[in-house]
């Protein structure tokens, strides 16, 4: 697998990496913390599409749909991400990945996380349920139909999606250095990023003001893949919605670019 085909494989990894990195944390060095949401610009639901490319070659896309729901008298947010390669790549490299997250509409703490990977012959399924009282994660995972179930307890862990929405709900400014513990389906990571600037960037509909964020990832479990991550940059709109609008991840040759589709 070479050239753009290998870059298509990196699309989901880049998306997960970026979602994981979009999360706030505190001043204590190398320690994740919990945060209270301050505002909810997504409360009525939303739908957005991201397109991924490598050196101008379209590779893949991801649709993200979010809606509020009520279960047992309690309000939650449900988010579904569907990532897929372009059809012209499917005969050689086919990806159909689905990520789902249900999280508390007040605290944004995760309740249930599902990650289904369908990449050529790879078939991985992860379903994680979180006990809100004990903070215990019960994970049922199958790797090509082989069960690899496990559990862990953490007061700090978020899945990549609930982490992203937490970031959008908390105020931050240039100069902040932010941290959070993120569970990606198999491993846990300490995600740190620097809000290094506020700048105007050009997108399809024109120029927008955005925060420029430089993330870093460190393994918190032995099965992590932080060592494979290369430099990435994330731009988040500086308006009240705080929407991730562009993600750029360096690869061996060139970079994978993921950009929000403009209406």
- pTM, to two decimals: 0.84
- Output the CA torsion sign for 262, 15, 33, 31: negative
CA dihedral 225, 150, 183, 62 (to 10 degrees): 80
Residue 239 burial (CB count, 10 A): 11
Lowest mean pLDDT across 71-80, 131-140, 146-155, 254-263: 254-263
Question: What average pLDDT does the structure give for the chain?
Answer: 84
Asked if pLDDT for residue 18 goes beyond 70, the answer is: no
Report the distance separating Cα 222 and Cα 225, nearest Å: 9
Rank 35-39, 55-59, 93-97, 124-128 by mean pLDDT and report only the highest: 124-128
Residue 116, strand partner residues:
98, 125
Contact between 133 and 109 (Cβ < 8 Å): no
- Mind listing the pLDDT tens digit for each residue in 209-249? 999 998 888 888 766 555 555 578 999 999 988 999 999 88
How large is the average pLDDT for residues 23-44? Answer: 68
The pLDDT tens digits of the residues spanning 47-67 come to 999 998 988 889 899 999 999
Q: Is the pLDDT of residue 147 over 90?
A: yes
């Amino acid at each position: 697998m070479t050239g753009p085909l290998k870059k298509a494989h990196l699309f989901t990894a880049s998306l997960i990496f970026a979602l994981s990195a979009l999360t706030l944390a505190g001043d204590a060095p190398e320690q994740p913390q919990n945060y209270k949401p301050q505002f909810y610009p997504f409360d009525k639901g939303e739908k957005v599409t991201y397109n991924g490319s490598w050196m101008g070659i379209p590779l893949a896309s991801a649709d993200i749909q979010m809606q509020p729901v009520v279960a047992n008298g309690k309000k939650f947010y449900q988010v579904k991400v569907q990532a897929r390669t372009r059809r012209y790549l499917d005969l050689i490299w086919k990806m159909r990945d689905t990520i789902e997250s249900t999280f508390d509409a007040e605290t944004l703490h995760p309740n249930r996380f599902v990650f289904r990977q369908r990449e050529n012959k790879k078939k991985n399924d992860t379903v994680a349920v979180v006990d809100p009282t004990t903070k215990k994660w019960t994970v049922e995972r199958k790797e090509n139909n082989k069960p690899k179930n496990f559990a862990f307890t953490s007061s700090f862990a978020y899945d990549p999606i609930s982490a992203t929405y937490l970031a959008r709900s908390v105020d931050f400014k240039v100069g902040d250095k932010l941290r959070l513990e993120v569970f990606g389906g198999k491993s846990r990571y300490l995600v740190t990023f620097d809000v290094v600037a506020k700048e105007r960037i050009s997108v399809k509909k024109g120029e927008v003001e955005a925060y420029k964020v430089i993330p870093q990832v460190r393994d918190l479990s032995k099965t992590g893949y932080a060592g494979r991550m290369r430099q990435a940059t994330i731009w988040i709109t500086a308006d009240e919605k705080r929407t991730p609008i562009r993600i750029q991840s360096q690869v061996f040759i060139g970079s994978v670019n993921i950009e929000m589709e403009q209406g």
